[in-house]
Amino acid sequence: MKKIIVPIDFSEQSENALKVAAALAKKHGSEILALHMLELNQAMLTSSEGFHPEQTVFLLKMAEKRFNEFLDKPYLKGLTITPIIKHFKVFSEVNEVAEQHNAELIVMGSHGSDGLKEIFVGSNAEKVVRNAEVPVLVIKNEIPNFKVDRLVFASDFKLENLLAFQKAKAFADMLSAKLDLVFINTPGDNFLSTTDAYDTINTFLRKANVAYEVEIFNDYSIERGILNYSENCKADAIGIPTHGRKGLSHFFIGSIGEDVANHSKIPVVTFKI
């Protein structure tokens, strides 16, 4: 893992993510790309009336100063840190930066989001998850000595999830973590008998050319099942595929990956399908 992106907004949550990225960088010799997105609009940057260009330059310099001060932390000593400042707060740009710099992981701080705020606004982490092609590790709390010994990967084991599984396996191998596979069975139209569930799982495993045991865990919803199973087996992190749905599709269908990333107390890493 050569490069890790960490979006920085000077919050406690983004520092929690930075500490996790630092722990990973020290272990794997990675470069950290610290990304800050200013909330400047196009009119502010180009208008000759009402807002003078020197004011824009002043704001940019102030942001750079604060950014550099934020990155002056003891736990970053000895690491390669590259500050990147974007002028707009557009979360799809995080993925663009990842592509431009060949980054392999985004580590994102989040406080989660619930209720109407989640429906109409969502969390910043959710926006990054929705647009990112590379894995996104979502961190809620400060984690001293970050280490993943057990990674739960939850899936419906349809063949469309094969690429996400391969990414999860590579991520677990990189961290020397045990990969724990789980299929969440729920009541209603999506319910599968044990025989049907194992038929689906075995077809998937044969296609992936791997030999794993998969736990079938029953619960009232997929999200609740993932969170409960992970708590029961004392997982250190949850890995989950995400479609990255947008627009009306996202509003009506939603994404279980984004929901779990919002509500889980332990780190969640999403893998784009």
pLDDT of amino acid 117: 44
- Give me Rg for the CA atoms of the chain: 20
pLDDT of amino acid 9: 87
1-145 CATH choice from 3.40.50.720, 3.40.50.2020, 1.10.40.30, 3.40.50.620: 3.40.50.620
Q: For 26-39, what is each residue's pLDDT tens digit?
A: 999 999 999 988 76
pLDDT of amino acid 50: 52
Q: For 239-253, what is each residue's pLDDT tens digit?
A: 998 876 555 443 334
- Helix, coil or strand: residue 28: helix
pLDDT of amino acid 205: 97
- Helix, coil or strand: residue 148: coil
d(CA 247, CA 234): 35
Domain ranges of the chain: 1-145, 147-273
Residue with tokens 């707009």: 88
Q: What is the pLDDT along the chain (273 residues), one digit of tens a residue?
A: 899 999 998 889 999 999 999 999 999 999 999 998 876 555 454 555 555 567 667 777 887 888 889 999 999 999 999 999 887 666 778 888 999 999 999 999 887 655 444 433 346 777 788 788 899 999 988 998 899 999 999 999 999 999 999 999 999 999 999 999 999 999 987 889 999 999 999 999 999 999 999 999 999 999 999 999 999 999 999 999 887 655 544 333 456 777 787 788 899 999 988
For 266, other C-beta atoms within 10 Å of its C-beta total 19
pLDDT of amino acid 41: 54
Question: Token digits for 257?
Answer: 């990956």
pTM over 0.75: yes
| Residues 6+ away with beta carbon under 8 Å from 161 | 155, 204, 241, 273
pLDDT of amino acid 49: 53
Do domains 1-145 and 147-273 share one topology? The answer is yes
d(CA 137, CA 170): 14
d(CA 9, CA 37): 7
Instruction: Give backbone dihedrals phi and psi of 7, rounded to 5 degrees, phi first.
Output: -65, 130
Which ranges in the chain belong to alpha helices (H)? Answer: 12-28, 42-46, 53-70, 92-101, 115-120, 124-131, 162-175, 194-208, 222-232, 247-253, 256-263
Question: Token digits for 210?
Answer: 């791997």
Residue with tokens 């993510």: 17
Please give the single-letter amino acid code of residue 80: T
Question: Token digits for 167?
Answer: 């990414």
Q: Which CATH architecture does the domain made up of 147-273 adopt?
A: 3-Layer(aba) Sandwich (3.40)
pLDDT of amino acid 203: 97
For 129, other C-beta atoms within 10 Å of its C-beta total 31
For residue 215, which of 189, 239, 176, 179 has the smallest C-alpha distance? Answer: 179
For 42, other C-beta atoms within 10 Å of its C-beta total 9
